[in-house]
């Protein structure tokens, strides 16, 4: 029995690996070399390769990379703790073309200042790169701190969105 689907898409940031649950809701989006990201081998363990469930995601990603889409409208099904889900929901509220700090995300979810490291861990565990915009989170000093997809991709995405000068 198939528990979901997977496919790959070519993109300006590399070949994307997408997975979806049995209902077709996007459960992950990984980039090549991503820290903690899925690989074709791990994605295919209990999923079937099928591009069909990813048509809307493919269209929206193409429009995003063309600079024509600012907000994704896709059914999502990421797996994570309640704390991670709160952090990820706060990421969804960061507007296209802007950035926030880890401390600001912590404040948005009502976490204490001491919880900033845990917030950073939740952001780093985001299974939906690009779609759930963890690339918009920067260091308190404006630095391009960690991004599971690589800092060069983070800079590329922020430049695409106009948050950084080209």
Phi first, then psi: what are they for 12, rounded to 5°?
-60, -20
What is the residue whose two structure tokens read 């900033």?
116
In the set 105, 128, 134, 158, the catalytic residue is 134
Residues 88-132: tens digit of each pLDDT:
999 999 999 999 999 999 999 999 888 999 999 999 999 999 999
pLDDT at 44: 59
pLDDT at 154: 96
Phi first, then psi: what are they for 159, rounded to 5°?
-70, -45
Residues 53-87: tens digit of each pLDDT:
999 999 999 999 999 999 999 999 989 999 999 99
pLDDT at 162: 96
- Helix, coil or strand: residue 29: strand
Residue 5: other Cβ atoms inside 10 A = 24
pLDDT at 47: 85
What is the value of pTM for the model shown?
0.92
- β-sheet bridge partners, residue 128: 29
pLDDT at 54: 97
Which pair of structure tokens corresponds to residue 140?
């308190």
Confidence of residue 3 (pLDDT cuts 50, 70, 90): confident
Question: To which H or E segment does residue 63 belong?
Answer: helix 55-65
pLDDT at 2: 59
35 is catalytic: no
Residues 40-61: tens digit of each pLDDT:
776 657 788 999 999 999 999 9
């Amino acid at each position: 029995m198939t528990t979901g689907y997977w496919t790959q898409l070519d993109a300006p940031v590399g070949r994307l690996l997408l997975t979806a649950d049995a209902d077709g809701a996007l459960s992950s989006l990984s980039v090549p070399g991503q820290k903690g990201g899925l690989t074709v081998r791990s994605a295919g363990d209990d999923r079937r390769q099928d591009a069909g469930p990813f048509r809307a995601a493919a269209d929206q990603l193409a429009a995003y990379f063309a600079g024509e889409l600012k907000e994704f409208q896709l059914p999502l099904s990421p797996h994570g703790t309640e704390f991670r889900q709160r952090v990820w929901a706060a990421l969804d509220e960061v507007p296209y073309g802007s950035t926030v700090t880890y401390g600001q995300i912590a404040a948005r979810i009502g976490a204490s200042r001491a919880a900033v490291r845990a917030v950073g861990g939740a952001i780093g565990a985001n299974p939906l790169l690009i779609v759930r915009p963890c690339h918009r989170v920067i260091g308190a000093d404006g630095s391009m701190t960690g991004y599971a997809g690589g800092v060069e991709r983070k800079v590329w995405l922020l430049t695409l969105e106009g948050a950084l000068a080209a």
